[in-house]
């Protein structure tokens, strides 16, 4: 008699078997780790620790940690800010000491030099030379006035390092401080040299 092969019904997986399989395949889910842990001797999928594969709260935590400065870095920032604040206050007083001669006054060093008018007036007082200037209030006129001041300093061998007219017109704090410091050094050195020449002439006359 011909016998037909007996077909066995596939064994259904019980809940206990599913739990055991889950524990073997994905132990990291029960241990609370961030990425699946592959079996021993194998490697997990590449990039499983990249930011977009992390949990949302873990991404926020990592981002906040990266953006926080350590105590040493915060101390350096505070020292730099304090130095800039002191320089700004000192330079503002120095500028006003000369602008008062033409009845002008500035309150904010970064803002009040942006149109170039006070800058040109300062150079006119220090040099005794009358400079041209644009009378408009548009950005183009402000840039032109600042450029007139920069060109005047360059003609007098003033050392301007990476300072452009738009830096001053935009109120860049670092470069505005750098420009005023350049003006102070240039004209104080020139004034000292002039006084030395005058004193030498006086001594020659007396002899």
Taking the C-alpha atoms of residue 94 and residue 5, their distance in angstroms, rounded to an integer, is 107
> How many Cβ atoms sit within 10 Å of the Cβ of residue 146?
26
**141-187 per-position pLDDT tens digit:** 999 999 999 999 999 877 888 899 999 999 999 999 999 999 999 99
Q: Tell me, what's the pLDDT at 156? A: 87
Domain contains 132: yes
CATH number of the CATH domain containing 165: 1.10.418.10
pLDDT tens per residue, range 19-60: 554 445 444 444 444 444 444 444 444 444 554 555 555 555
Residues 6+ apart with CB under 8 A from 99: 105, 106, 118, 121, 122, 125
Task: Specify if 170 maps to a domain.
Answer: yes
Is 144 contained in some domain?
A: yes
What is the domain extent for residue 116? 81-197
How much is the pTM? 0.57
Q: What is the pLDDT of residue 160?
A: 84
Structure tokens at 202: 């006086």
- Count of CA atoms in the C-beta half-sphere (13 A) of 87: 17
Predicted pLDDT at 47: 46
Whether residue 63 is contained in a domain is answered as no
Residue 204 belongs to some domain of the structure: no
Does 20 fall in a domain?
no
56 vs 65: CA distance, rounded Å: 14
Whether 5 has a pLDDT exceeding 80, the answer reads no
Query: How many structural domains are present in the chain?
Result: 1
For residue 45, being part of any structural domain is answered with: no
Task: Give first-to-last CA distance, the chain, whole Å.
Answer: 149
């Amino acid at each position: 008699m011909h016998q037909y092969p007996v077909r066995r019904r596939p064994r259904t997986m019980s809940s206990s078997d599913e739990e055991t399989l889950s524990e073997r395949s994905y132990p990291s889910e029960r241990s609370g780790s961030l990425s699946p842990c592959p079996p021993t001797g194998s490697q997990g999928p590449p990039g499983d620790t990249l930011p977009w594969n992390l949990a949302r709260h873990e991404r926020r935590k990592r981002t906040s940690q990266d953006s926080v400065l350590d105590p040493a870095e915060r101390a350096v920032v505070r020292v730099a800010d304090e130095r800039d604040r002191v320089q700004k206050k000192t330079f503002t007083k120095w500028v006003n000491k000369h602008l008062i001669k033409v009845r002008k006054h500035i309150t904010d060093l970064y803002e009040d030099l942006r149109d170039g008018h006070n800058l040109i007036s300062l150079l006119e007082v220090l040099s005794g030379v009358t400079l041209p200037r644009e009378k408009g209030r548009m950005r183009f006129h402000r840039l032109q006035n600042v450029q007139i001041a920069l060109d005047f300093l360059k003609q007098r061998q003033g050392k301007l390092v990476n300072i452009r007219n738009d830096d001053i017109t935009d109120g860049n704090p670092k470069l505005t401080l750098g420009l005023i410091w350049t003006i102070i050094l240039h004209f104080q050195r020139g004034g000292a040299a002039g006084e030395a020449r005058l004193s030498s002439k006086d001594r020659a006359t007396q002899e």
